[in-house]
Amino acid sequence: MRVGVLTGGGDCPGLNAVIRGVVRKGIEVHGWDFVGFRNGWNGPLTGDSRPLGLNDVEDILTRGGTILRSSRTNPYKVEGGVDKIKKVLADQGVDALIAIGGEDTLGVAKRLTDDGVGVVGVPKTIDNDLGATDYTFGFDTAVSIATEAIDRLHTTAESHHRALVVEVMGRHAGWIALHSGLAGGASVILVPEKHFNVDQVVSYVESRFEKEYAPIIVVAEGALPEGGEEKLLTGEKDAFGHVRLGGIGTWLADEIAHRTGKESRAVVLGHVQRGGTPTAYDRVLATRFGLHAVDAVADGDFGVMVALKGTDIVRVKLSEATAELKTVPAERYQEAEVFFG
């Protein structure tokens, strides 16, 4: 059997660990051949591929990013895209695909399965917003990076007695903001799931200043003030219809400074959350996902995604995994509110 592997969407710590787990088990246990498709779904669209052997994955466990590179290509936005993929797979003798990605990449995987292509999905997103799995790899690393940044910002905020607004990733789900904000001792945490009242945020900030502390506000990029609109870096949309968000942190810092008369600065962590070496937790989870993805291919169980349930790796339908995003429930956010101000 010959199996194709691809990584789509945003890069993420742990992608290489999945690739390594897939290739090692596939070769050493089943004797399969592997081909890596470059640049997400653009690879099987254009035939851009490379062989994947044991030597190719020997030293990639600790590397961030993906040796296969990535893109936000949507083959269903390309004329004749599905037929092109089927032809490339046939020409290269590929019997099955393992697609590693988030909602968009796995949404394509689900549609391709319906169109007769054998695909197994592996969940990847630092946002932890993919349905049907308790956690995705990359999330723990992103939270660790954001938490370390918040820890460092506490000292400079206290030294200058200023408010600091830390903008983290999270388009529709505030998991990174919630976890890093709690772990880093933030004064306020703002998530996309609950529109925030600027007056209330200012009240929390003033309360911290009155106690001789410098406030840290953690805000997800998709968080919205009541009656406000998303802050966009550009109005352009990618192949999946997403706009680039950004700017809520700067906007909020300006509002705080204007309303309190206190100096306020914004720090946008951006893509630093995606980069670098994955944590031990993410390496283990990613490796386990890779091993179980190989089992699904061996069983001919296509149209599924491997998922974490408790401490077990299980299989769920791709349709279930991509049905809706996993957002922060109200009760989880309410738990954190006791620490605000």
Question: Among all chains, which residue has been given the structure tokens 């738990």?
Answer: 335
Q: What is the pLDDT of residues 215-247, one digit of tens each?
A: 999 999 999 998 766 554 544 544 544 445 558
Q: Which residues of the chain have pLDDT under 70?
A: 228-246
Q: State the pTM of this model.
A: 0.91
Q: What is the pLDDT of residues 55-83, one digit of tens each?
A: 999 999 999 999 999 998 999 999 999 99
Check if 140 is active-site. no
Which of 59-96 are b and which e, b meaning 16 or more Cβ less than 10 Å from the residue's Cβ? Answer: ebbebbbbbbbbbbbbbeebeebbebbeebbeeeebeb
- Specify binding-site residues: 10, 103, 125-127, 162, 169-171, 221, 265, 271-274
Query: Would you state the structure tokens that stand for residue 215, as one six-digit string?
Result: 């406030």
Question: What pLDDT was estimated at residue 162?
Answer: 84
Residues 250, 221 contacting (CB under 8 angstroms): no
Query: Would you state the structure tokens that stand for residue 181, as one six-digit string?
Result: 């904000």
Q: How far is CA 173 from the centre of its chain?
A: 10
Question: What pLDDT was estimated at residue 239?
Answer: 52
State how far the Cα of 283 lies from the Cα of 19, in Å rounded to an integer: 11
Distant-in-sequence, close-in-space partners of 200: CB < 8 Å, separation ≥ 6: none
- Specify binding-site residues for substrate: 125-127, 162, 169-171, 221, 265, 271-274
* Sheet architecture: strand order including 2-7: 49-51, 33-37, 2-7, 96-101, 119-123, 304-309, 312-317
Question: What pLDDT was estimated at residue 268?
Answer: 95
Residues 42, 73 contacting (CB under 8 angstroms): yes
CATH of 2-137+278-322, one of 1.10.1240.10, 3.40.50.450, 3.30.2420.10, 3.60.150.10: 3.40.50.450
Listed as own residue / partner, the contacts of 73-80 with beta carbons closer than 8 Å and 24 or more positions apart are 73/8, 73/39, 73/40, 73/41, 73/42, 73/45, 73/239, 74/41, 74/104, 74/108, 74/239, 74/240, 75/41, 75/44, 75/45, 75/108, 75/112, 76/108, 76/111, 77/239, 78/45
Residues 205, 258 contacting (CB under 8 angstroms): no
From 48, 56, 127, 134, active-site residue: 127
Question: What pLDDT was estimated at residue 242?
Answer: 47
- Helix H or strand E encompassing 120: strand 119-123
Residues 41, 150 contacting (CB under 8 angstroms): no
Numbered ranges of CATH 3.40.50.450 in the chain? 2-137+278-322
Q: What's the first-to-final CA gap in the chain, in angstroms?
A: 59
Half-sphere exposure of 77 (CA within 13 A, CB side): 12
- Specify binding-site residues for diphosphate: 10
State how far the Cα of 271 lies from the Cα of 55, in Å rounded to an integer: 29
Question: Which stretches of 223-264 are DSSP H helices?
Answer: 248-260
Query: Would you state the structure tokens that stand for residue 226, as one six-digit string?
Result: 């009541």
Question: What pLDDT was estimated at residue 247?
Answer: 85
State how far the Cα of 215 lies from the Cα of 118, in Å rounded to an integer: 51
Residues 39, 71 contacting (CB under 8 angstroms): yes
Query: Would you state the structure tokens that stand for residue 258, as one six-digit string?
Result: 């204007």
- Specify binding-site residues for Mg(2+): 103
Numbered ranges of CATH 3.40.50.460 in the chain? 139-275
CATH topology of domain 139-275: Rossmann fold (3.40.50)
